[in-house]
Chains A and B, each alone.
Chain A
Amino acid sequence: MSPGILLLGAGLALAAALPAARRWPRLWLGLTLAAAAQALLAAAWVLSGGTAWEWRSATLIGGEAPHLRLDAVSALFLALLAVLGGAGALYSGEYWPDRAHPRSAPAGRGWWGCLLLWMGLVLVAANGLHFLIAWELFAVSSYFLITLERRRLEARRAGWLYLAVSHAGTLCLFAFFALLAARTGGWDLGPMRERTDLAPLYWLALAGFGIKAGLFPLHVWLPSAHASAPSHVSAIFSGVAIKMGIYGLVRFSGWLPVPEPAAWTVLGLGLASAVLGVAFALGQHDLKRLLAYHSVENIGIILIGLGFGLLGLARGQAGWGFLALCGGLLHVWNHGLFKALLFLGAGSVLHATGTRAMSRLGGLWRAMPWTASCFTLGAAAISGLPPLNGFVSEWLVYLGLFASVGAPGAALWAAIPAAVLLAVTGALALACFVKVCGVVFLGSPRTPEAGRAHECGWSMRLPMLALAGGCVAIGLAPAVFWPAVARAAAAWNPAWSAQEMPASLSALGSLHAVLAALGGLAVAILWRQMRRQGVERAPTWDCGYAAPTPRMQYTAGSFAGIINEWFAWILRPERHCRPPEGFFPARASDAMHTPETVLEKVITPVAAGVRWVSTAVRGLQHGRIQSYVFYLVLGLLALVLLTGFGK
């Protein structure tokens, strides 16, 4: 069974699922899951050592012969797409049911199938023209998924912003592929590492794919799109769709030569995204917006790995470049798993309480133990804590950084700040997720709707459990997953195919297992001792205050207050304060809000300026023929003067 047949099966199943989306949700689900399983098998076949699959057809589509290729780099992303595509499809049945959303639920199923199909095509397309077509269709399907709830103004706005920014990126990609085709004489894509004249094109790819990936200054579309979309859509968005940008950056940095300044830029943007992404996340009060900013952070971590990989390539340093690149690539999987898990958990909270505002939640663990456990596990994973998967990939990146520090050279200048900032990012992410888990799931309910929460059903629980299982599996047995990542890195740069697994990776896996075992043992011993000595329940210690209310619990804003103050220079938080006045103050309030600073403080003013200039220029065109003649005369005069002085 070759991957080609599996991919064909997956494509056919997805195509067959399209007409079923409207009337037969169960059939649609079955076909989508079948497609996901086949795609996963095809990816696993390539990643487990099979040769890359390649297929060319003689029939022309759009004047070009289709050329598909599934190598280890594509397969790495395809596996993630298959897992999250299947998990999200299963989740959506209960989360976005037909009876609650009679119009948008069938539409959502249809667009879901389209999204998976076009993303899959982007991953296997090896022809620039077809890549662009698939890319554009993928962007449009994403737009319709974001605006599923199009009655809400917020969703429409998020959709438009996404569409506009995404097309700005596509424009760069048009330029990129067109110049590539012009210089190579064909649209066919493949390794062209020796063509050094193509190196400058990587800047265009960086802009175009960077927008999709949500790099720091280009991330403006990301928070609102992730927050407004239904949660299973946010999950696949954050898990896979923004990874398409990473795929582009990885793919074309492997196929084309990369100028060294671009490698430094990738690294710098990665560092900025990592630290500032988490800083913005700390300022959020909306659960899903917060998770969206963490995507910016994790994309940053992936790019730190890729940036060091590129530097290692440029310097001929296989040792550390390979390690950092593998860390970055493994983080693609890891981030996909735990971020999708967190978004599905957030969706479950939203489903149960009807709100995303953290200040209205609290104490949900009692009503939703499954969601709370899965979410907390995902939170520990994204904070890069052992024994889970997030730590494994960050550890590999760190290992690359430490190894590059040992070797003299300019890379040291990057490795020191990168390691320090990576540690700071980890500590900030930890602070942020302590805040989220503590405020949403622990304590007591802050509002009646939080008190009436209910656990989600099995078809929402199963995908979360599966993703949580993936996080634990990669954490406990990293050596099992290593060959897949190493093959992707070897496909990226064939010269590195001789690199071996760091021996300490299996030691790390055993240490994780020991940690899990010892932790479990300690919990069991403590539980036994507590049972023996007797457990009493009493109110939380309140310093003797007579009437504590749930609203007196620490809030998300206060929790993040200290760190927000440190980052106020870029977060620009807006404070709306009405202090209590007079002897018997009636109402007082104090609210803090962190805007999307880059969008509101940079892009919106610039856009307003452009619009102002355009409006001013439009005054020239008014339809009075006399004035037009006058313009012509002026123009002629200018030309005469120009030619006169030109001599």
Chain B
Amino acid sequence: MSAILEIFARLFVWLLLAPLVPGIINRVKARVAGRRGPPVLQLYYDLAKLWRKGVVLSAVASPLHWAGPAVAWMAVALAALLVPLGPLGAAVSFRGDALVFLCLLALARFLLALAALDTGSAFEGMGAAREVSYAVLAEAALISALLALGIQNRSASLAEMLAPSAGPGAALLGAGLFAVLLAENCRVPFDDPNTHLELTMIHEVMVLDHSGPPLAVILHGAALKLLVFAVLLAGAVLPLGRAGKPPALLALAGAVLLIAVAVGLVESLMARLALRRVPLLLTTAFLFCLFALLAAWKGMAA
């Protein structure tokens, strides 16, 4: 019973903290641009407002249009439960859960892309096409990263894979995973989260026709995904599982904060890439992870 309670408590904390990360990023961007910027809690206000709004559905949309994002949201939440929080471990952990993590994110992508196509809009079709195409490269990078961690720790469970640091390949893995984080979470230089109405957008254009509570679910899910990736990146690079509880949790929080600041800085200092260059950058991320994999393998052979 207490185990179930703990799982629900963790789920609650994940869901509660997620909207904080975009707030921090926006704050950093505003500071760099010399503005005061919106409050850190802005996304909470937005979500509360959207939740209480009415819904305008496209006339051609099927129930999948809003039900898909709801299931995708829970898929990301379950993926979050698989990610270990340093010495606290993961809420759910078993051999092979790293692959479940990967495929839960894929399920979310499948449902969101279908929800986008549901409106019959060419804009959203474009966004969905780009999303699923670039995800092929992102997924290759992510599985290489997981394999590198798996080789190093001889395990297929995230909790064991992320406990020590990534060893010799940590820098490579960190760089690769950071690029994947940016790509999977619609951040500059892959995508621009600030605008919805560009032909060149990826994730943001997929939600053009969502409104009210379904949009709140999508935005919250996106924030949660960002937090999940940040914790994953921190766990892969830092030996969190080997430290005592208070310092490890502090280090984790600090690392997530640092990642949020880094995302904000990248967003302030870089322009979005031309769309045709996105695959190149993602391939670079894949190569980083692949080299980390080779480093881990050499480390094991030695």
A550 within 8 A of B: yes
> Complex Cα distance A507/B96, Å?
10
| Binary flags per residue of B105-121, CB closer than 8 Å to A gives 1, else 0 | 01101100110011111
Asked whether, in the complex, the Cβ of B143 is within 8 Å of the Cβ of A550, the reply is no
Q: Give, as a whole number of angstroms, the nearest-CB distance from B76 to chain A.
A: 11
Given contacts A442-B118, A502-B96, contact A540 B59 (CB under 8 A): yes
Interchain CB contact (< 8 A) of B151 among A384, A405, A508, A541: A405
**Contact residues in A for B117 (Cβ distance below 8 Å):** 434, 437-439, 442-443, 554
Asked whether, in the complex, the Cβ of B94 is within 8 Å of the Cβ of A515, the reply is no
Interchain CB contact (< 8 A) of A529 among B51, B58, B142: B51
Asked whether, in the complex, the Cβ of B96 is within 8 Å of the Cβ of A399, the reply is yes
Which of B61-69, B185-193, B251-259 interfaces with chain A? B61-69
Q: Give, as a whole number of angstroms, the nearest-CB distance from B266 to chain A.
A: 24
Interchain CB contact (< 8 A) of A386 among B62, B104, B129, B290: B104
The A contact surface, by secondary structure, is helix
Asked whether, in the complex, the Cβ of B96 is within 8 Å of the Cβ of A542, the reply is no
Which of B23-31, B132-140, B173-181 interfaces with chain A? B132-140
**Contact residues in B for A507 (Cβ distance below 8 Å):** 92, 94, 97
| Binary flags per residue of B47-90, CB closer than 8 Å to A gives 1, else 0 | 00001111111111110101100110111011000000000000
> Complex Cα distance A430/B67, Å?
19
Asked whether, in the complex, the Cβ of A434 is within 8 Å of the Cβ of B128, the reply is yes
A495 within 8 A of B: no
A558 within 8 A of B: yes
Given contacts A398-B96, A442-B118, contact A561 B129 (CB under 8 A): yes
Asked whether, in the complex, the Cβ of A395 is within 8 Å of the Cβ of B100, the reply is yes
B19 within 8 A of A: no
Which of B32-40, B212-220, B231-239 interfaces with chain A? B212-220
Interchain CB contact (< 8 A) of A420 among B59, B103, B119, B140: B140
Interchain CB contact (< 8 A) of B297 among A366, A412, A560: A412
B165 within 8 A of A: no
> Complex Cα distance A363/B135, Å?
26
Q: Give, as a whole number of angstroms, the nearest-CB distance from A434 to chain B.
A: 5
Given contacts A386-B103, A399-B156, A539-B59, contact A380 B151 (CB under 8 A): no
> Complex Cα distance A383/B102, Å?
13
Which of A230-238, A518-526, A609-617 interfaces with chain B? A518-526
Asked whether, in the complex, the Cβ of B99 is within 8 Å of the Cβ of A530, the reply is no
Q: Which residue of A lies closest to B73 (CB)?
A: A522
From 127 to 148 in chain A, residues with beta carbon under 8 angstroms from any chain B beta carbon are none
Asked whether, in the complex, the Cβ of A533 is within 8 Å of the Cβ of B52, the reply is yes
Q: Which residue of A lies closest to B197 (CB)?
A: A543
Q: Which residue of B lies closest to A428 (CB)?
A: B136
Asked whether, in the complex, the Cβ of A552 is within 8 Å of the Cβ of B103, the reply is no
Q: Which residue of B lies closest to A534 (CB)?
A: B54
A496 within 8 A of B: no
Asked whether, in the complex, the Cβ of B106 is within 8 Å of the Cβ of A540, the reply is no
B243 within 8 A of A: no
A473 within 8 A of B: no
**Contact residues in A for B53 (Cβ distance below 8 Å):** 533
**Contact residues in B for A639 (Cβ distance below 8 Å):** none
> Complex Cα distance A366/B120, Å?
13
Which range holds the interface residue count of chain A?
35 or more
Asked whether, in the complex, the Cβ of B75 is within 8 Å of the Cβ of A423, the reply is no
From 537 to 594 in chain A, residues with beta carbon under 8 angstroms from any chain B beta carbon are 537-543, 550, 552-554, 558-563, 566
A408 within 8 A of B: yes
Number of A-B contacts (CB under 8 A): 250
Q: Give, as a whole number of angstroms, the nearest-CB distance from A403 to chain B.
A: 7
B270 within 8 A of A: no
Asked whether, in the complex, the Cβ of A362 is within 8 Å of the Cβ of B120, the reply is yes
Q: How many residues of B contact A (CB 8 A)?
A: 81
Q: Which residue of B lies closest to A531 (CB)?
A: B55
Q: Give, as a whole number of angstroms, the nearest-CB distance from A16 to chain B.
A: 45
**Contact residues in B for A391 (Cβ distance below 8 Å):** 103
**Contact residues in B for A562 (Cβ distance below 8 Å):** 129-130, 133-134
Asked whether, in the complex, the Cβ of B78 is within 8 Å of the Cβ of A514, the reply is yes
Q: Give, as a whole number of angstroms, the nearest-CB distance from A286 to chain B.
A: 19
**Contact residues in B for A519 (Cβ distance below 8 Å):** 70-71, 74-75
B164 within 8 A of A: no
Q: Which residue of A lies closest to B75 (CB)?
A: A515
Q: Give, as a whole number of angstroms, the nearest-CB distance from A510 to chain B.
A: 9
Given contacts A399-B156, A519-B74, A522-B70, contact A563 B150 (CB under 8 A): no
> Complex Cα distance A372/B110, Å?
15
Asked whether, in the complex, the Cβ of A538 is within 8 Å of the Cβ of B99, the reply is no
A83 within 8 A of B: no
Q: Give, as a whole number of angstroms, the nearest-CB distance from B195 to chain A.
A: 13
Asked whether, in the complex, the Cβ of B110 is within 8 Å of the Cβ of A522, the reply is no
A170 within 8 A of B: no
**A365, A428, A542, A562 — which one has the most chain B CB atoms within 10 A of its CB?**
A562
> Complex Cα distance A561/B92, Å?
39
> Complex Cα distance A525/B70, Å?
9
B242 within 8 A of A: no
Interchain CB contact (< 8 A) of A553 among B92, B125, B142, B197: B125
**Contact residues in B for A420 (Cβ distance below 8 Å):** 140, 143-144, 147, 290
Interface of B toward A, CB cutoff 8 Å:
51-62, 64, 66-67, 70-71, 73-75, 77-78, 92, 94-100, 102-104, 106-107, 109-110, 113-114, 117-126, 128-130, 132-136, 139-140, 142-144, 147, 150-151, 154-156, 197, 208-209, 212-214, 217, 279, 290, 293, 297, 300-301
Q: Knowing that A533-B55, A535-B56 are A-B contacts, what are 11 other residue pairs whose CB atoms are under 8 Å apart, sorted by A's residue number?
A: A363-B60, A365-B62, A431-B129, A431-B135, A503-B94, A508-B100, A526-B217, A534-B55, A539-B58, A541-B58, A552-B122
* 20 pairs, A vs B, C-beta closer than 8 Å: A380-B110, A386-B103, A398-B96, A408-B301, A412-B297, A420-B144, A420-B147, A437-B117, A438-B117, A441-B62, A443-B119, A504-B96, A522-B71, A525-B70, A536-B57, A540-B58, A540-B121, A543-B197, A554-B125, A562-B133
Interface of A toward B, CB cutoff 8 Å:
362-363, 365-366, 372, 376, 380, 383-386, 391, 395, 398-399, 402-403, 405-406, 408, 412, 416, 419-420, 423-424, 426-428, 430-431, 433-435, 437-439, 441-444, 502-504, 507-508, 511, 514-515, 518-519, 521-523, 525-527, 529-530, 533-543, 550, 552-554, 558-563, 566
